Structure 1
């Protein structure tokens, strides 16, 4: 039976990284899923909640639940937003309103039961496990299992991988000096790997780290996990953009 899957693009994906959202759809359709994009979806309310606007978060949470009702699964290219829905919503709404929300790697491994998705990405890559995916969702080795199966990809270990990059949404604004220091440590570790590409499951963290790497003119680029997994030998432009 074909799973009826909805894409939760997230605010950041929708406004700044639409290519990643397209990669998710391309990948899931290649694996036999029927993917919808409910137009009623909006922000999950994570920024509101984390800044203390709990009451203002509730209508956003209810709207999101209604937008995704009726699907077999909802997939997000963001451990951060998926964690907000999975971990915070049940406490906020006192019910498990949103249906079956998954971060991309856990959906591929746990639901579809695949690790080899037919991807091709001939580059030296290192992986940063983002805080929410690691600590709230517990995705563990799933992204690494997927990356190890990518044809042509040379996966190198990131030192102190589980250390935060310093983004944390509004944390980077409210605690800029601390955030910058944490970013410096993360960039140093990335450069020590000799990788051409840093990947992760959250574009928010990649934006933060990538901005620092770009300002230093390191030549290391950031690529979302979904973009790597969607790349094939038949679509080489995905591997080089």
Structure 2
């Protein structure tokens, strides 16, 4: 006969896991109002304030997560953390969070910059603690690229013809960087392949603008 204490022990473990999930902050990390065709200083200020509030949620999450095995539970918050990092990257690229960029991060924040801003460790190898993984960071960059490609289209509708050029140059550089990586994570590899479609989308916008003589011919190449 099966010893019923086996199931009692399983129930105890289930209750412990449920307690950990219930204890972790469940409020989603929202990207707020940053996706807009015309980016005004007040919008960036609002976005920065929203990101700062979400940073406090990360501090709460870190305190809870550090009490448990990281890779056992990080799937609970990984997507939300990626969204927050994408928001941070997007806000920084559009001109916000200037004081948190490193000296070599003119266009975007490195993983170390993001880790310093959120006050979390990055890419841990020999320690089981809450941290931002490289995969999460790269997935956040991909999400930022997707947002920027949409912003390129929206900018044109409001007569901002220079931003698509800036976006095109930037995401092409990012795409070139991703091509240097040997990605073993299936999800990350598939998502990164999609960057080329964002690049093509922005190139089409710039090409259409050049045909309409809405941008200088010298600036049409992206």
**Structure with greater strand percent:** 1
Common fold, TM-score beyond 0.5? no
Category of TM-score, reference length = shorter chain = 0.3 to 0.5
**Structure with greater helix percent:** 2
**TM-score, normalising length from structure 1?**
0.33
